[in-house]
Amino acid sequence: MKTGTLPRIILTAFAVASLSVAGAQQWVVQNKDQTRPNPNEQDITGSYNSTVALPFSGYNEINWTSGTGSDATRFVVEYSIDGLQFQTAAEQVATGNTSSYTVKHYTQSNEPLLYRIRSVNSAGKSATSRNFMVDGVPLAPLRIITNTTNSNVLNVNSNWPINRVNIFSLDGTQVLARDLNGQREFIPIAIPDLGKGMYIVHFLGDGWKHSEKILIP
Q: What is the mean pLDDT of residues 145-173?
A: 79
186 and 210 inside one domain: yes
Q: If we measure between CA atoms, which residue out of 99, 38, 39 comes closest to residue 71?
A: 99
Distance CA 89, CA 210 (A): 24
Q: Which residue stretches of 91-171 are H helix?
A: none
In a domain, 2, yes or no: no
Domains of the chain: total:
2
The whole-number pLDDT of residue 97 equals 67
99 and 149 inside one domain: no
123 and 203 inside one domain: no
Do residues 151 and 216 touch, judged by C-beta distance below 8 A? yes
106 or 215: whose pLDDT is higher? 106
Q: If we measure between CA atoms, which residue out of 50, 48, 65, 44 comes closest to residue 120?
A: 44
Max mean pLDDT among 17-26, 144-153, 178-187, 189-198 falls in: 178-187
Band of the pLDDT at 212, cuts 50, 70, 90? confident
Other beta carbons less than 10 A from residue 42's beta carbon: 10
Query: What does the pLDDT look like over 122-131, one tens digit per residue?
Result: 888 888 888 8
49 and 120 inside one domain: yes
Q: Is pLDDT above 90 for 41?
A: no
Distance CA 199, CA 185 (A): 23
* CATH number reported for the structural domain that contains residue 183 in this entry: 2.60.40.3080
Query: What does the pLDDT look like over 42-94, one tens digit per residue?
Result: 443 347 788 899 989 899 999 999 876 678 889 999 999 888 889 999 999 98
Q: Which domain holds residue 57?
A: 27-133
Other beta carbons less than 10 A from residue 153's beta carbon: 14
The whole-number pLDDT of residue 2 equals 44
55 and 147 inside one domain: no
The whole-number pLDDT of residue 81 equals 86
In a domain, 4, yes or no: no
118 and 160 inside one domain: no
What are residue 89's DSSP bridge partners?
A: none
The whole-number pLDDT of residue 148 equals 37
